[in-house]
Amino acid sequence: MAAFHYKIKSRQGHVSRGVIATDTSCEARRILSTKEFTLISLKPLKAWQQLFQKIELKPEELRSLFKALAQLCRAGLPLREALKALEGDGQKKSYQPLIRLLEKGLSFSGALKQSALLTNDLLLSFIKQAESSGDYPSAFDQIVTYLQWMENLKKRLKKTLSYPLFVFMLSLTLLIFLMTFVVPQLLDLYKMSSLEIPPLTRALLTMSHYSGPLLTSIGVILSAFFSVGFILINYSRYNTFLRNRFLKALLKTPLLGQHLRDILLLQYTTSVQALLEAQKDNIVRAMDCAEQNLHPAFFRSLFRQPRFYVERGSAFSEALHTHFPLPESILKILQVGERSGALTLALKHVTQYVDKNLQDSLERLIQRLGPLMLLLVGGFLLFIIGAIFLPLYGGLGSTGAF
């Protein structure tokens, strides 16, 4: 399917731009040329342009679209008329391809997928459920709630990690600057004074001398680690076992792994729970959609094996626990839910538990990392002062230089 960048103009003079995915340019012109809109330009997108020109709506655009559709549908407007009303508001994003596909008789979920405006199977499942029940506003509210939850999770993670990362980069830059430019000059001044070099100053002199090779060695070790991880992640089709072992080892690391595990588990259980509520009898389908909805994407293989085992008749909790570092407390909650026939409710409790635990652990992390880094930098500065300035000042004072 080819992609085309279009520019259309409404009767009121509003100009809209966007990208449409169709088989041919004639099909794209047929969809975009209507009585209400005039096609101004239609250009095919090259392969390199498609990397930067995404057809699918962004999360904020999806949230705005479904929020407005929920309000208009509650007011009594049919879905197609609601989309036309949004189209007439002079928005920069055009929904004309979607409207034309609906006029051809496609379902709303099918039109969204064929127009490539929405390809997320999780969100499409909510819409398919609404198509069978007829309750579009509730499905749209559910989509808005889910998108808002994902946005809040991203904001929370960025807010939590930005301060320690900033302090770490500032501390690292300061240490490199001191060891590369300031300390060598101060040590040269110390040598010119013909004073005896104390043991603390000798230690600093040795650190300054070997700081370059030490930083290079650390850089090589980190590069080798990330290179091995990149190879295992991107060539998993040749050795899935090694990839999953590497990812499991990463999730078991003391500091980063625990938080990453909770983030993945929170996304997965939230998606499975929402899908089971929409499709109550299809646990395998729910697991498949939840797996495809995970970010970062290279962790999805960890949840592929549990789905295979559930297809063969294994319990959801045991299959997940076997192939994912699942905490014992969460395993017990899932097992209780399976025995009582209330897995959806158990997943809801798991989501709330993991969300609260993740929020508390991130707050503790930021409370510890920031002061710890500042303490390390302050301690190193005190070490420099004790190794250079105090002996130098004391030695020059005893010779009568001051």
DSSP per residue over 110-142, as a string?
HHHHHTTS---HHHHHHHHHHHHH--HHHHHHH
Same domain for 207 and 96: no
Say how far apart CA 131 and CA 152 lie, in whole Å: 28
Same domain for 188 and 56: no
Contacts of 284 (CB under 8 A, 6+ apart): 307, 310, 311
DSSP per residue over 254-292, as a string?
TTHHHHHHHHHHHHHHHHHHHHHHHSTT-HHHHHHHHHH
391 belongs to a structural domain: yes
Q: Which of 95, 119, 143 is the last residue of a domain?
A: 119
132 belongs to a structural domain: no
pLDDT in tens, 180-211: 777 677 666 666 666 666 777 777 777 766 66
133 belongs to a structural domain: no
Q: In what order do the strands lie in the sheet with 2-10?
A: 15-22, 2-10, 37-44
Q: Which of 214-223, 266-275, 318-327 has the lowest mean pLDDT?
A: 214-223
Same domain for 394 and 265: yes
Same domain for 179 and 103: no
Query: Residue 332: what pLDDT?
Result: 92
Residue 88's nearest CA partner among 78, 76, 96 is 96
Task: Give the CATH number, domain containing residue 187.
Answer: 1.20.81.30
Same domain for 164 and 97: no
Across residues 27-41, what is the average pLDDT?
74
Same domain for 175 and 99: no
Preceding omega of 325 cis (within 30 degrees of 0): no
Q: How many domains does the chain have?
A: 2
Residue 16's nearest CA partner among 32, 1, 35 is 32
402 belongs to a structural domain: yes
- For residues 81 and 64, the answer to whether their CB atoms sit within 8 Å is no
284 belongs to a structural domain: yes
Same domain for 314 and 220: yes
Secondary structure class of 2 (helix, strand, coil): strand
Tabulate helix, strand, coil % of the chain (nearest 5).
75, 5, 20
Query: Residue 232: what pLDDT?
Result: 61
The predicted model scores a pTM of: 0.69
pLDDT at 352 over 70: yes
Same domain for 172 and 90: no
pLDDT in tens, 119-161: 788 888 888 888 888 888 888 998 898 888 888 888 877 877 7
Give the side-chain half-sphere CA count within 13 A for 169.
Answer: 5
Query: Residue 35: what pLDDT?
Result: 65
Same domain for 357 and 209: yes
Q: Which of 74, 96, 119 is the last residue of a domain?
A: 119
Give the side-chain half-sphere CA count within 13 A for 43.
Answer: 12
Say how far apart CA 250 and CA 229 lie, in whole Å: 10
pLDDT in tens, 290-318: 888 888 777 888 888 888 888 888 889 99
pLDDT at 398 over 60: no
Give the side-chain half-sphere CA count within 13 A for 339.
Answer: 7
- For residues 355 and 267, the answer to whether their CB atoms sit within 8 Å is no
Question: How sure is the predictor about 402, in pLDDT bands with cuts at 50, 70 and 90?
Answer: very low
Same domain for 163 and 98: no
135 belongs to a structural domain: no
